[in-house]
Amino acid sequence: MKTTRIGIIMNGVTGRMGTNQHLMRSIVPIMKQGGLRAGGDTVLMPEPLLVGRSADKLDALVKQSGVGRWSTDLDAALSDPSMTVYFDAQTTLLRAPAVTKAIAAGKHVYTEKPTAVTTKEAFDLYERARRAGVKHGVVQDKLWLPGLMKFADLRAKGFFGRIFAVRGEFGYWVFEGDTVPTQRPSWNYRKEEGGGIIVDMLCHWRYVLDALFGPVKAVSCTAAIHLPDRWDEHGKPYRATAEDAAYATFEIEGGIVAHINSSWEVRVRRDDLFTLQVDGTLGSAVAGLRDCWIQPYGATPRPVWNPDIPNAIDFASTWQKMPDQRTYDNAFKTQWELFLRYVALDEPFRWSLLEAAKGVQLAELGHQSWRERRWVDVPPLEADAGRGARR
């Protein structure tokens, strides 16, 4: 068996997402399964170098994971020729400068989103990578969630007929941090530190909508700071300066209207923390993170509006839960494996820094819509579209 080793600088993995999804649930399992089979007698084996600012946290993480080495010197890591890939899971404002340095060092780049807080900066990262000839990708994990993959299978088989409406609900109650510990870092609620749910979640909704339904053509968004008083990781009170909820409507090519509510201040009474209802002429589906429920035209009940008597229809029971017809791996691990094959074998990988810039663009236009209280068109963002198409 021939083993191709891929050195990966993993920067910022002491944070919640970097530790859990990228290291412990992606890279470590790939290594423990003996690497990634790449056809024939070749195995791709990641070799991580954990990079961050806290030596104590990095040392503990290496011991926890049982793999890798650590360093607090990013420049030294980037100068190591055995490290061919740079991965970034830092906070948003730190990401673009570090990715820029990695591209300049000739590293292939794989990064969390958003890649920047402005479209110009995000697009510049894409152009730098393209000019440098390095391979590049952005995490777009929701495309490999079992619920959304089941939906994609339904659409490919023509289950919906013509799709005309999409309704999404995302979020949960994030505690303020005074009496009950908060579940999110305080920088998420500080605009000056790159926080806010618009830049966090509209980057996700861009690739979900583009991939599953069609190009987003326009956006109307309003947002709010519903809970301005919060307590940080050290128990100190602070005022939130970034929005904690966003309510957005999207016009999608082909006449589809999508509306997605995103909130860190909503109490959940639905099937999952994220649900997406899709309505078509022949059927509807509701996809969650793992499950998907369907209702074809022939099984659709015929309710009659009469608020004066109890409704006789148990609406939830009229939906059918789809079975697991295949095995679903962790969404982050699945995309990591695709990226490693892209780096080592030059297999196709379409989730590039250009796609990352499109997500930042939608977030920036969402902010503009909120600020100006109006619909905003989403212009093309392509390498050959010229400066006029970039926002």
Whether residue 301 is preceded by a cis peptide bond, meaning omega within 30 degrees of 0, is no
Q: Are residues 127 and 203 in the same domain?
A: no
User: What DSSP string describes 169-210?
Assistant: EEE-B---SSSS--SS-GGGG-GGGT--HHHHHHHHHHHHHH
Name every residue whose Cβ is closer than 8 Å to that of residue 39 and which is 6 or more positions away in sequence: 345
Can you tell me the distance from the alpha carbon of 324 to that of 326, in angstroms, rounded to the nearest whole number?
6
The predicted pLDDT at position 387 comes to: 39
Q: Is residue 388 part of a domain?
A: no
Q: Are 162 and 373 in contact (CB under 8 A)?
A: no
Q: Are residues 120 and 216 in the same domain?
A: no
Q: Are residues 173 and 118 in the same domain?
A: no
The predicted pLDDT at position 235 comes to: 96
Q: Are residues 39 and 170 in the same domain?
A: no
Q: Are residues 11 and 68 in the same domain?
A: yes
The predicted pLDDT at position 131 comes to: 98
Q: Are residues 246 and 284 in the same domain?
A: yes
Q: pTM higher than 0.85 for the full model?
A: yes
* Boundary-marking domain end, from 321, 339, 370: 321
Q: Are residues 51 and 159 in the same domain?
A: no
Q: Are 154 and 294 in contact (CB under 8 A)?
A: yes
Q: Is residue 198 part of a domain?
A: yes
Output the domain CATH number for residue 270. 3.30.360.10
Structural domain harbouring 169: 143-321
Report, as ranges of residue numbers, the positions in the chain whose pLDDT lies below 50: 384-391
Q: Is residue 335 part of a domain?
A: yes
Output the domain CATH number for residue 341. 3.40.50.720
Q: Is residue 382 part of a domain?
A: no
Q: Are 51 and 130 in contact (CB under 8 A)?
A: no
Q: Is residue 55 part of a domain?
A: yes
The predicted pLDDT at position 1 comes to: 78
CA angle (60 as vertex; 57, 61 as ends), nearest 5: 85
Q: Is residue 276 part of a domain?
A: yes
The predicted pLDDT at position 383 comes to: 61
Q: Is residue 337 part of a domain?
A: yes
Q: Are residues 298 and 277 in the same domain?
A: yes
Question: In total, how many domains does the chain have?
Answer: 2
The predicted pLDDT at position 38 comes to: 87
Q: Are residues 177 and 285 in the same domain?
A: yes
Q: Are residues 124 and 26 in the same domain?
A: yes
**Tokens, residue 304:** 């009659």
Q: Are residues 99 and 119 in the same domain?
A: yes
Q: What is the mean pLDDT of the chain?
A: 95
Q: Are residues 107 and 211 in the same domain?
A: no
Q: Is residue 286 part of a domain?
A: yes
